[in-house]
Structure 1
């Protein structure tokens, strides 16, 4: 008596002894099973008769490898803002600073980044000329 091969469900994590990898079962294509790496990536073909459900340890290992890969390939965080790259703060009591800060806020309200940047430049120039410490 022959046993019928186990039917795998899409999304099920299976161990492929041919590659020594755990993959997410996608579907069958002809006589081959298609598996995708945990966390995404290029699918590979496997012998469906050799596949078995992944153990808890194998699933955990595959998940950790996927997270590590995603962490290593993520773009680095931007450097922290230093004081020179922060928008200038108006000097309290200065009408010119208040007017330029208001101009900047108006530009922000309408998402005009160019006008916002211009107001910051003018405010820095004004502060450099009028409010030197």
Structure 2
């Protein structure tokens, strides 16, 4: 296993980033940082798309709670009932939009909503100028 690989630990029902082995255990760290935990490597598996998105949302929420000035609330002018569109030629936008479509196809509306949250956050961080111009009208 390569460091940074995402793995699902069924014993804790969490997705973590593989760090290293310690004796017979795999050491995992929560997505986005935090306290490592040990897991039985025999039980670990790759996370599903839904599990991976949920872990990303948890990390984003944790980051917002720890530093609210870095992640201000969305502008009230944004209609949250409309799904955000991916920006052209942006692999991250495309990946999140694909995850949203897959979740909606499986009627997993929670995962689809999580993907929208991550896509809006990505827009605000990676496409700030375009994001501001699009909502200035």
TM-score, normalising length from structure 2?
A: 0.49
Secondary structure in structure 1 of the residue aligned to 2:17: strand
- In 1, the alpha carbon distance for the partners of 2:45 and 2:6 equals 9
Aligned-residue RMSD, C-alpha: 1.3
Offset, 1:76: 4.5
User: Counterpart in 2 of 1:16?
Assistant: 9
Extract unaligned runs of 5+ from structure 1. 1-7, 78-133
Alignment of 1:35-74 (within 5 A): 35-74=28-67
Offset, 1:56: 1.1
> Higher mean Cα deviation, 28-37 or 67-76?
67-76
Q: RCO higher in 1 or 2 (8 Å CA, sep ≥ 6)?
A: 2
The runs of 4+ residues in structure 1 deviating greater than 2 Å are none
Based on CA coordinates, which of the two structures has the bigger radius of gyration?
Answer: 1
Extract unaligned runs of 5+ from structure 2. 71-137
CA-to-partner distance for each residue in 1:73-110, whole Å, 9 max, x for gaps? 21548xxxxxxxxxxxxxxxxxxxxxxxxxxxxxxxxx
Count of matched residue pairs:
70
- In 1, the alpha carbon distance for the partners of 2:13 and 2:22 equals 21
TM-score, normalising length from structure 1?
A: 0.50
